Amino acid sequence: MSLRAALAHPVRYGSLGAGMLPVLAFPAPDQEWFAWIALVPGLLLMQRAPRAREAVVRGWWFGAGFVLAAMYWLIPSIGPGLLLIAVLFGALQGAVGLAVWCLLRPPLTVRRSLAALLVVPSVWVVTEFARSWQALGGPWALLGATQWRRPTQLALASLGGIWLVSAAVVAVNTAVLIAVLADRTVLRACALAAGALLLAAGPVAFALNPAPVTARTATVVLVQPGQTPDGTVRLDAAGAITRDLADRPDLVVWGESSITSDLSRDSVTLAQLRALSAVTGSDLLVNEDARKADGHISKDAVLIDPNGIQDRYAKMRLVPFGEYIPFRGGLGWLTKISKAADQNRTPGHSFHLFQPVDRSGTPLPAGVLICFESAFPDLSRTAALQGAQLLIYQSATSTFQDTWAPAQHAALAAVRAAETGRPAVQAALTGDSVAFDAQGRQLARMDTGGRGALTVHLALPAATYRTWYDRVGDVVPWTALAVTAAAAATGLYRARARPRADRSATVSEDAPSPAR
């Protein structure tokens, strides 16, 4: 189909607009209640498609609209590249359109309605799982993240990760759609009852799954220097805030790119940081964005005490276009019309826990990740399995300061806390700096307009504590993939069987009647 023909269908523009509606449930609009019904207009357009192919196209347009609205703040970084991302990621949602059309087109039956409650959420989760791979850019705006302010709903994340929250949200939307389409009172009532049960699943899980027992406590200070013109002013501002701390915390955390030189070679800056650690009586966790001795640029979390550098971790999951350009040979021209990375950062290769020492001299095992890495469930889960009692994220989103990006990013720490059963904190250079307890409840926050120190007191679980998600991992998306594959195989089988049945019926009608 030509582009001109594709644009000649006004209903597809409606699908594009419908795809933008669910974004209102994400930060910063934060209308999280809307997520439970926001998909219904788009799903209805897919269901009303005259043919399966058109349902796929409408699903595609819906997905493109969702990506454009959810990631609009990328325009300064990648310019027109956002359109390409929207088209590519939007195509995944075509499978959702096909599933809705096949299962919920007239006449609506109880059997196909029940199948839709299982298959449609499964297909949606598979699309989220697919675009969450680092090779495709990594996860962002997964539907389950809309519930970051609702610990009762995030309880599902402790069982099956963010994927289970997404599945529940899509299943409720599907139930509402069935209730809208049903022409029988019994079917409509059953659909609404199913939706109510799915909506209550999170609160029930929250009630039955108490918070982890506190094994120890820790006081952490998150330093937010605010907007600064260059690295030197940033260092001075963060240093002044740290030096003026009234109380001695267990750990002081600075944001991503808080240091712009290689501390292994910059003895002057390192001496300043060592002195700061000595003055505060606390270990200092900074972040280094600098060219190393081998000529490569990397972003490293660096732990410092009065004796010097104690540990280092290099960021492994880099931001596409922001920290590297995929296929730079073909897409490098984006740097001329946007703020895309002029040089590729070099990723790290392994993850390990940091062991800062608290006020009592006891090691505090912490999983330290950098900015975009908070979006990846597997990294935080790895930290939990290695025995982290605390998750720490160092962030810098100043490029997107006046957009929804900082709030969307900060919300991810709540999801990671609920998934792993560990408190999670994020120190951001210009905001949002936040802290959440082990069930994802917000403890403290400093928005993008703030500057100073955010002090949080955290209740930490035992290093051996594990949520169900810690134990089982990504069983939900893999199960969703199996359900999707089974549904696809069943659909193909029936599609092939139908022409044979039609041909048999035609032959039977044309054959002469047997003589009496």
pLDDT band at 323 (very low <50, low <70, confident <90, very high): confident
The pLDDT value given to residue 132 = 92
Q: What is the mean pLDDT of residues 50-61?
A: 96
* 306-314 mean pLDDT: 97
pLDDT average, residue stretch 357-384: 96
What is the H or E stretch that residue 333 is in? none
Of 174 and 84, the structure prediction assigns the larger pLDDT to 174
**Pairwise CA distance, residues 374 & 409, whole Å:** 8
Task: Using the predicted structure, report yes or no on whether residue 340 has a pLDDT greater than 50.
Answer: yes
Dist CA 17 CA 61 (whole Å): 9
Residue 490, token pair as written in the block = 């069943």
Of residues 407 and 79, more confidence is placed in 407
Tell me what the pLDDT averaged over the chain comes to: 92
Query: In the prediction, which pLDDT does 3 show?
Result: 54
| Average pLDDT estimate for 189-216 | 96
Q: Which two tokens stand for residue 462?
A: 């035992």
Over 60: is that where the pLDDT of 514 sits?
no
Average pLDDT on 305-322 reads 92
Q: Is the pLDDT of residue 512 over 90?
A: no
- If one compares 343 and 118, the residue with the highest pLDDT of the two is 118
Q: What is the pLDDT of residue 502?
A: 54
Query: What are 247-264's pLDDT values in tens digits?
Result: 899 999 999 999 999 999
Q: Above 50 in pLDDT, residue 424?
A: yes
For the residues 264-270, what does the mean pLDDT come to?
Answer: 96
Lookup result for tokens 């499978």: 95
CA distances from 93 to 58, 70, 96, 121, 127 (A): 9, 15, 5, 12, 7
Query: pTM of this prediction?
Result: 0.92
Higher pLDDT, 33 or 320: 33
Does the structure show a pLDDT above 70 at 235? yes
Classify residue 164 by burial, with Cβ atoms within 10 Å: 0-12, 13-18, 19+.
Answer: buried
Q: Which of 200-214, 226-240, 326-340 has the lowest mean pLDDT?
A: 326-340
Q: What is the DSSP letter of 326?
A: T
Backbone Cα Rg of the chain: 26
Q: What is the pLDDT of residue 345?
A: 86
In the numeric block, which tokens belong to residue 93?
Answer: 């949602």
CA dihedral 257, 262, 266, 270 (to 10 degrees): 50
Q: What is the pLDDT of residue 509?
A: 46
